[in-house]
Amino acid sequence: MAAEIISAAGHAVAVYDAMPSVGRKFLLAGVGGMNITHAEPLQKFLARYASAQSVLTPIIQAFDASALRQWAAGLGIETFVGSSQRVFPKEMKAAPLLRAWLHRLREQGVTFYPRHRWLGWSDCGALRFSAREHATAMAQEKLISANACVLSLGGGSWARLGSDGAWVPLLRAQQISVAELQPSNCGFEFSVSEFFKTRFAGEPLNTVALTTTDIYGKVHHLRGECTISVYGIEGGAVYALSAPLREQINRSGTAQLNLDLLPDRTLENIIVQLLLPRGKDTLSNFLRKKLKLSPVKIALLKELSPREIWHNSQLLAQTIKSLPLILTGVRPLDEAISSAGGICFSALDKHLMLHQLPGVFCAGEMLDWEAPTGGYLLTACLATGRTAGAGVVAWLQQQTKIKAFE
């Protein structure tokens, strides 16, 4: 996106990518539907960026969901709003959008150099690359001098696609503040029996409500879907709470997540149902028939609650409405959909240029922000790319004026 803005202003642009082809994580984002943005009201949209909301607000306002859809339309990609307000390309794929985009960039004179891994700067300030002409060729070091540079190196998740976080020590060596990269939109671990893991791994917990209290005392509550895994729990609703859950674990070693297994029923209604005659039914069958609890929800209740509650309708109903799940660990960074942490915004000006390195701009997931899935990640990446690109154009104009004055 930065290359598009800079080349459209008439400047020569080269894109260097460590991978054999560009846009690999972009293509991965398209697996299963390519959710490019979200159509909810702007203020609600901006709130999804939590602690980074204030700094990202002007950046996203300059390229919001509507502008992103217009941009895609300009590439010949029609979009639509799904039932969840998520926005998708009509073809539900990333590849057509990427192909059209790369064609536009090449038409604007942008050149691409795959298999060029950035290694930092030389003593004279040139960009250092480890370059391969093809997959089996020996790597050779290249030095590239540029009037301006945009770093868009990704976070730390999905290292096999290029986002390996190897840039962190390179920037810290330049005295640039970088917050530690951490998993975001990720799964969490909790202890259950081997029987439960074997029997229910992969089973969805459909229609639940999740509640947790963050380290600042703020209560987070949402309704959605999640999935039992061999290590614990994952899925969209859990991903959306990954930041407060992760911070709890960072601080105290555990996090508490309360599950409402029947969010469409009141506590009183559940108690009334539990007091009905059971007849010859086992309690599990009774819960399945009267409350429509799925086998995985019943099994989770048995795993996580003391036996005495099963003989007390009041306590059982309360547990169904608020089942405490103690999370003991965060899944590894490379498994996460995205990452938190990155270059601190205090190290950047409003154009996303590094204070320490004039002429060097940064964009995308390598900046210190995070957001839930739903189009928010991609929107912020594209919007920061445009801001950095516009910053480069302004910087080059300023440098030209300075040289002319001299």
pLDDT at 133: 87
pLDDT at 404: 81
* 29 pLDDT more than 90: no
Does residue 340 sit in the same domain as residue 392?
yes
pLDDT at 158: 86
pLDDT at 402: 83
Closest CA relative to residue 387, chosen from 57, 98, 166? 57
**Main-chain phi, psi angles of 335, to 5 degrees:** -85, -15
pLDDT at 21: 94
The pLDDT-based confidence of 303 (bands split at 50, 70, 90) is very high
- Measured CA to CA, the distance from residue 24 to residue 38 in angstroms comes to 22
* 351 pLDDT more than 90: yes
Q: 3-state DSSP call for residue 367?
A: strand
Length of the chain: 406
Domain boundary among 290, 315, 330: 330
- Structural Rg of the chain based on CA atoms: 25
Tell me the average pLDDT across 214-233: 95
- Measured CA to CA, the distance from residue 84 to residue 72 in angstroms comes to 20
Spell out a b/e string for 138-150, using b for 16 or more CB atoms within 10 Å of the CB, else e.
Answer: eeeeeebeeebbb
Does residue 320 sit in the same domain as residue 341?
no
- Measured CA to CA, the distance from residue 8 to residue 379 in angstroms comes to 20
Does residue 96 sit in the same domain as residue 53?
yes
Does residue 223 sit in the same domain as residue 274?
yes
pLDDT per residue as tens digits for the range 182-201: 999 999 999 989 899 889 99
pLDDT per residue as tens digits for the range 53-102: 999 999 999 999 999 999 999 999 999 999 889 999 998 999 999 999 99
How many other C-beta atoms can be found within 10 angstroms of the C-beta atom of residue 306?
Answer: 8
Does residue 155 sit in the same domain as residue 268?
no
Q: Where are the beta strands (DSSP E) in 294-336?
A: 323-327, 329-330
pLDDT at 115: 96
Q: What is the dihedral of CA 236, 239, 240, 246, to 10 degrees?
A: 160
How many other C-beta atoms can be found within 10 angstroms of the C-beta atom of residue 343?
Answer: 24
- Measured CA to CA, the distance from residue 367 to residue 155 in angstroms comes to 8
Domain boundary among 303, 330, 357: 330
Q: Where in the sequence is the domain holding 35, given as residue range(s)?
A: 2-184+336-405
Tell me the average pLDDT across 253-278: 95
Does residue 392 sit in the same domain as residue 362?
yes
Residues with Cβ within 8 Å of 402's Cβ and at least 6 positions away in sequence, in order, are none
Total structural domains within the chain? 2
Does residue 344 sit in the same domain as residue 389?
yes
Q: Domain of 170: which CATH number?
A: 3.50.50.60
Q: Tokens 């594209």 correspond to what residue?
A: 382
Does residue 232 sit in the same domain as residue 272?
yes
- Measured CA to CA, the distance from residue 62 to residue 158 in angstroms comes to 29
The pLDDT-based confidence of 325 (bands split at 50, 70, 90) is very high
Does residue 157 sit in the same domain as residue 256?
no
- Measured CA to CA, the distance from residue 130 to residue 291 in angstroms comes to 61
pLDDT at 234: 96
Does residue 326 sit in the same domain as residue 345?
no
Does residue 64 sit in the same domain as residue 134?
yes
Closest CA relative to residue 372, chosen from 243, 234, 214? 243
Mean pLDDT of the chain: 95
Domain boundary among 290, 312, 330: 330
Spell out a b/e string for 267-302, using b for 16 or more CB atoms within 10 Å of the CB, else e.
Answer: eeebbebbeeeeeeeeeeebbbeebebbebbbbbbe
115 against 25, higher pLDDT: 115
Does residue 365 sit in the same domain as residue 265?
no
Q: Mean pLDDT check: name the lowest of 2-16, 256-270, 306-320, 339-353.
A: 306-320
The pLDDT-based confidence of 136 (bands split at 50, 70, 90) is confident
* pTM of the predicted structure, to 2 decimals: 0.92
Tell me the average pLDDT across 255-277: 95
The answer to whether 261 and 208 are in contact (CB under 8 A) is yes
